[in-house]
Structure 1
Amino acid sequence: MLIIPVKEGENIDRALKRYKRKFDRTGTMRKLRDGQHFTKPSVARRSQVQKAQYIQHLRDQEEI
């Protein structure tokens, strides 16, 4: 359970933004979406490797 203390006189939009950021970092929605369908371990590993290669490619391009 997330607890967001709201200080006196604090804007509710600011507190809501803090809540959303904290909720995002917990990864709850990501876990729920991932649990909706089964992915084979080999497919998950392959997508993870492809993502790492893509990020490495971007970093290499940035250095040039």
Structure 2
Amino acid sequence: MIIINIKDNESIDKALKRFKKKFEKTGVLKELRSRSYFEKKSVKRRHEKIRAAYRQKMQDEQENVLIIILPF
């Protein structure tokens, strides 16, 4: 159960934003979506490998970015 204490003079929008952030951190919605249909372990492993390769590719690209600052 997620409990959010609303602070004095805090708007409902800010409290709702904090609630959403906490809810997302718990991973309940992600778990619910992953259990909405059955997925074999071999398929899960394959998807995890694909995700890991994608993350590694993005990290490599980010590290290889060359920033050149030209004086005017």
User: Same fold by TM (over 0.5)?
Assistant: yes
TM-score, L = length of structure 2: 0.82
Matches within 5 A, 1:39-50: 39-50=39-50
Distance apart, 1:20 and its partner CA = 0.4
2:9 corresponds to which residue?
9
> Structure 1: 5+ residue runs without aligned partners?
none
Higher fraction of helix:
1
Residue type at the aligned position of 2:20: K
Please say if 1:36 is aligned against 2:7.
no
User: What amino acid is aligned across from residue 17 of structure 1 in structure 2?
Assistant: K
* Structure number with larger C-alpha Rg: 2
Give the whole-Å Cα distance in 1 for the aligned partners of 2:29 and 2:63.
35
Task: Letter of the 2:34 partner, please give it.
Answer: D
Provide the aligned C-alpha RMSD in A.
Answer: 0.9
List, as ranges, runs of 4+ consecutive aligned residues in structure 1 with deviation greater than 6 Å: none
Overall identity of the aligned pairs, in %: 45
Give, in angstroms, the shift of residue 9 of structure 1. Answer: 1.1
Distance apart, 1:51 and its partner CA: 0.7
TM-score, with length taken from structure 1: 0.91
Q: SS at the partner of 1:38?
A: coil
